Amino acid sequence: MKSFCAGHPSLVECASRHHHHHHHRHHRTHHADDRRAVFRPTKMFVFGDSYADTGNNPKALANSWKAPYGITFPGRPTGRYSDGRVLTDFLAAHFGLRSPIPYRWREVGSKYVEHGMNFAYGGTGVFNTLFPQPNMTVQIDLFQQLIAESVYTALDLQSSLALVTNSGNDYSAYLAKNGSYEDLPQFIIQVVNQLVLDIKRIHSLGVKLIAIAGLQPLGCLPRTTVSNSFRTCNATANSLVTFHNQLLQQAVAKLNNQTRSSPAFVVVNLYTSFMSVLNGKGSTKFREPLTPCCTGINSSYSCGSVDETGQKQYELCKDPKGMFFWDMVHPTQEGWRAVFAALGHNLKQL
């Protein structure tokens, strides 16, 4: 395994060499589409990180609870890592569902528990990261605990949808702990393997349909492109992302072949939809697509930072609706809306 994909340029070819062709796919998918037409989820459960978190992180820890986060919707910070709605909200709305209540607010908003629950914590990964919040295994433990307490019944789970995001925090943590780019492909294999164990576990708990977010183009995030004044994406980083996504697609195809209610697992292709929007292909055109709306006044600060006297240490663009990126990592509400629109056919698989 050691030599598996060591050189970046061959990562993509390498992933495809490890692809095993699955027969009968077309036949099964055709029938699955017939069944899928009648599947209308009544609940949504969410696992993952800041691309899905709608308010789980403690206020003391997260910038997402500070102004100007939430400035577009609902007009104040709600713990979402954006100026407004995030992926979770758009997916819930797509199914006519209420966005599920964050786990930490389940006591306060107990009447909303029937719509499902969001266990995602910003900054987390499938493994432990630099952020001391529940990783995905622990998030699923919390879900399992609620099932054990009969908060959700087997019948509830049969009509439910799960969203799972894994947006690169495992990789940031790996590199921050002095992991090398050379060894990253080996670590990507471990991350995807763990992610696959996690989605199998969610399915085994009774959730009918699982949407797994593919990895977005990390090489296009402002924190990466800041080194070239937000002009161009980093191709090396994006080739590693492509490797992650190909391994994930292959693993999911295999799972669907082994699942009677196939396809129970659908990859939401964020890479293609992000790139399509960033390349100006969508109906929403962003003038400077790689430039973030909200940044720290220098590298010591970030969006939402204030100094000890309470003075703002960040700069905010005039119109968040005209920007794709909100901060150094996360899209604006308008950015997410455009990404969601660009998913098009991919959403029909859900």
122-134 per-position pLDDT tens digit: 999 999 999 999 9
Answer yes or no: is pLDDT of 20 > 80: no
Please give the residue that has the higher pLDDT: either 265 or 61.
265
Amino acid in position 270: L
pLDDT digits (tens, 9 = 90+) for 223-266: 999 999 999 999 999 999 999 999 999 999 999 999 887 679 99
The confidence score (pLDDT) of residue 262 equals: 63
pTM above 0.85, yes or no: yes
Average pLDDT, the chain: 90
DSSP 317: -
Q: How far apart are CA 175 and CA 298, in angstroms?
A: 22
Beta carbons of 120 and 62 less than 8 angstroms apart: no
- Consecutive H or E run containing 102: strand 101-102
Q: Is the pLDDT of residue 8 over 70?
A: no
Catalytic residues: 50, 327, 330
Q: What was the pLDDT predicted at 132? A: 92
How much is the pLDDT for 11?
Answer: 45
**74 prior amide bond cis, ω within 30:** yes
Assigned CATH for 39-348: 3.40.50.1110
Q: Is the pLDDT of residue 27 over 80?
A: no
10 Å Cβ neighbour count for 208? Answer: 15
Domain residue ranges in the chain: 39-348
Residues 270/330, Cβ–Cβ less than 8 Å? no
Half-sphere exposure of 35 (CA within 13 A, CB side): 12
pLDDT at residue 24 greater than cutoff 50:
no
| The residue type at 116 | G
Tell me the CB-side half-sphere exposure of residue 247, using CA atoms within 13 A.
Answer: 23
State the virtual CA torsion across 217, 9, 223, 284 in degrees, nearest 10: -30
Bridge partners for 162 per DSSP: 45, 210
- In this structure, what is the dihedral angle of CA atoms 335, 336, 342, 346, given to the nearest 10 degrees? 160
Cis peptide before 185 (omega within 30 of 0): no
Angle at 61 between CA 45 and CA 46, to 5 degrees: 5
Query: What six digits make up the tokens of 113?
Result: 């528990």
Transcribe 205-246 into DSSP letters. Answer: TT-SEEEEEPPP-GGGSHHHHGGGTT-S--HHHHHHHHHHHH
pLDDT surpasses 70 at 22: no
**Contact yes or no for 48/164 (Cβ under 8 A):** yes
Residue 318 pLDDT more than 50?
yes
3-state secondary structure of 6: coil
Q: Which of 65, 52, 147, 121 is nearest to 91 (CA)?
A: 52
